[in-house]
Protein backbone atom coordinates (compact mmCIF):
# COMPACT_ATOMS: atom_id res chain seq x y z
CA UNK A 1 0.00 0.00 0.00
CA UNK A 2 1.27 3.45 -0.88
CA UNK A 3 1.07 5.76 2.09
CA UNK A 4 1.66 9.28 0.74
CA UNK A 5 1.41 9.92 -2.99
CA UNK A 6 2.18 13.63 -3.04
CA UNK A 7 1.59 16.99 -1.42
CA UNK A 8 -1.98 18.20 -1.64
CA UNK A 9 -1.45 21.50 0.13
CA UNK A 10 0.88 23.76 2.05
CA UNK A 11 -0.75 25.96 4.66
CA UNK A 12 0.77 28.46 7.01
CA UNK A 13 -0.23 31.25 9.34
CA UNK A 14 0.33 34.93 8.60
CA UNK A 15 -0.31 38.18 10.47
CA UNK A 16 -1.94 39.64 7.35
CA UNK A 17 -2.71 36.83 4.87
CA UNK A 18 -3.94 39.13 2.09
CA UNK A 19 -0.90 41.42 2.25
CA UNK A 20 1.54 38.51 2.48
CA UNK A 21 -0.13 36.77 -0.44
CA UNK A 22 0.25 39.97 -2.48
CA UNK A 23 4.00 39.77 -1.77
CA UNK A 24 4.15 36.13 -2.90
CA UNK A 25 2.12 36.94 -6.00
CA UNK A 26 4.34 39.90 -6.94
CA UNK A 27 7.70 38.30 -6.21
CA UNK A 28 7.11 34.57 -6.75
CA UNK A 29 4.17 34.55 -9.16
CA UNK A 30 1.71 32.69 -6.91
CA UNK A 31 -1.53 33.97 -8.45
CA UNK A 32 -4.12 34.61 -5.76
CA UNK A 33 -7.57 33.08 -6.15
CA UNK A 34 -10.59 34.87 -4.61
CA UNK A 35 -10.42 32.88 -1.36
CA UNK A 36 -6.76 33.84 -0.77
CA UNK A 37 -5.06 30.67 -1.96
CA UNK A 38 -3.01 29.65 -4.99
CA UNK A 39 -3.19 26.48 -7.06
CA UNK A 40 -0.03 24.82 -8.35
CA UNK A 41 -0.82 22.53 -11.30
CA UNK A 42 1.18 19.43 -12.24
CA UNK A 43 0.93 16.01 -13.93
CA UNK A 44 1.44 12.54 -12.47
CA UNK A 45 4.94 11.24 -13.25
CA UNK A 46 3.79 7.70 -14.04
CA UNK A 47 0.67 8.84 -15.94
CA UNK A 48 1.21 12.25 -17.60
CA UNK A 49 -2.42 12.35 -18.74
CA UNK A 50 -3.46 12.62 -15.09
CA UNK A 51 -3.43 16.16 -13.76
CA UNK A 52 -3.17 17.22 -10.16
CA UNK A 53 -2.99 20.34 -8.03
CA UNK A 54 -1.32 21.45 -4.85
CA UNK A 55 -2.99 24.21 -2.83
CA UNK A 56 -0.83 26.93 -1.30
CA UNK A 57 -2.74 28.92 1.29
CA UNK A 58 -2.28 31.43 4.07
CA UNK A 59 -4.38 31.43 7.23
CA UNK A 60 -4.87 34.17 9.81
CA UNK A 61 -2.38 33.97 12.67
CA UNK A 62 -5.15 33.11 15.16
CA UNK A 63 -6.71 30.28 13.10
CA UNK A 64 -7.90 27.27 15.06
CA UNK A 65 -7.66 25.05 11.95
CA UNK A 66 -4.18 23.79 12.93
CA UNK A 67 -5.19 23.05 16.56
CA UNK A 68 -4.06 21.39 18.70
CA UNK A 69 -0.72 22.03 17.00
CA UNK A 70 1.10 25.22 17.96
CA UNK A 71 3.02 25.13 14.68
CA UNK A 72 2.68 27.95 12.16
CA UNK A 73 2.33 25.52 9.25
CA UNK A 74 0.48 22.40 8.20
CA UNK A 75 1.12 20.15 5.21
CA UNK A 76 -1.64 18.25 3.44
CA UNK A 77 -0.51 14.92 2.01
CA UNK A 78 -2.37 13.09 -0.76
CA UNK A 79 -3.18 9.46 0.00
CA UNK A 80 -4.77 6.67 -2.08
CA UNK A 81 -6.72 4.74 0.56
CA UNK A 82 -7.59 6.73 3.68
CA UNK A 83 -9.23 3.89 5.61
CA UNK A 84 -6.37 1.44 5.05
CA UNK A 85 -3.73 4.03 5.91
CA UNK A 86 -5.50 5.12 9.10
CA UNK A 87 -5.81 1.49 10.19
CA UNK A 88 -2.04 0.98 9.75
CA UNK A 89 -1.19 4.26 11.48
CA UNK A 90 -3.46 3.34 14.41
CA UNK A 91 -1.64 0.00 14.76
CA UNK A 92 1.67 1.88 14.72
CA UNK A 93 0.54 4.13 17.59
CA UNK A 94 0.19 7.37 15.61
CA UNK A 95 -2.06 10.01 17.22
CA UNK A 96 -5.16 10.26 15.01
CA UNK A 97 -7.81 12.96 15.35
CA UNK A 98 -11.26 11.29 15.45
CA UNK A 99 -12.67 14.05 13.22
CA UNK A 100 -13.27 13.18 9.54
CA UNK A 101 -14.44 15.37 6.70
CA UNK A 102 -15.98 13.86 3.56
CA UNK A 103 -16.65 16.45 0.88
CA UNK A 104 -17.23 16.69 -2.86
CA UNK A 105 -13.51 17.36 -3.25
CA UNK A 106 -12.30 14.41 -1.21
CA UNK A 107 -11.92 12.83 2.20
CA UNK A 108 -9.87 14.40 4.99
CA UNK A 109 -8.35 13.13 8.24
CA UNK A 110 -5.73 14.55 10.60
CA UNK A 111 -2.82 13.09 12.54
CA UNK A 112 -0.04 14.50 14.72
CA UNK A 113 3.68 13.88 14.37
CA UNK A 114 5.85 13.28 17.48
CA UNK A 115 6.76 16.99 17.68
CA UNK A 116 3.13 18.14 17.76
CA UNK A 117 2.73 19.19 14.13
CA UNK A 118 -0.75 18.61 12.73
CA UNK A 119 -0.79 16.77 9.40
CA UNK A 120 -3.76 16.75 7.06
CA UNK A 121 -4.36 13.64 4.97
CA UNK A 122 -6.43 13.97 1.80
CA UNK A 123 -7.86 11.26 -0.39
CA UNK A 124 -8.97 12.97 -3.62
CA UNK A 125 -12.30 11.87 -5.07
CA UNK A 126 -12.23 9.02 -7.58
CA UNK A 127 -10.97 10.35 -10.90
CA UNK A 128 -9.69 13.54 -9.29
Q: Could you give the CA distance from residue 94 to residue 73 in angstroms, rounded to a whole number?
A: 19
Per-residue pLDDT of the chain (128 residues; tens, 9 = 90+): 789 989 999 999 999 999 999 999 999 999 998 877 999 999 888 888 888 889 999 999 999 999 999 999 999 999 999 999 999 999 999 999 999 999 998 999 999 999 999 999 999 998 65
* Predicted local distance difference test score (pLDDT) of residue 109: 98
User: Domains, the chain, ranges and CATH?
Assistant: 6-123 (3.10.180.10)
pTM (global) more than 0.85: yes
Amino acid sequence: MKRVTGIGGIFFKANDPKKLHEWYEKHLGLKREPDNYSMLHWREADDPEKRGTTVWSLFKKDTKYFDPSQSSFMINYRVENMDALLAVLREEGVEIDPKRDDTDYGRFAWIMDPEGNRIELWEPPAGG
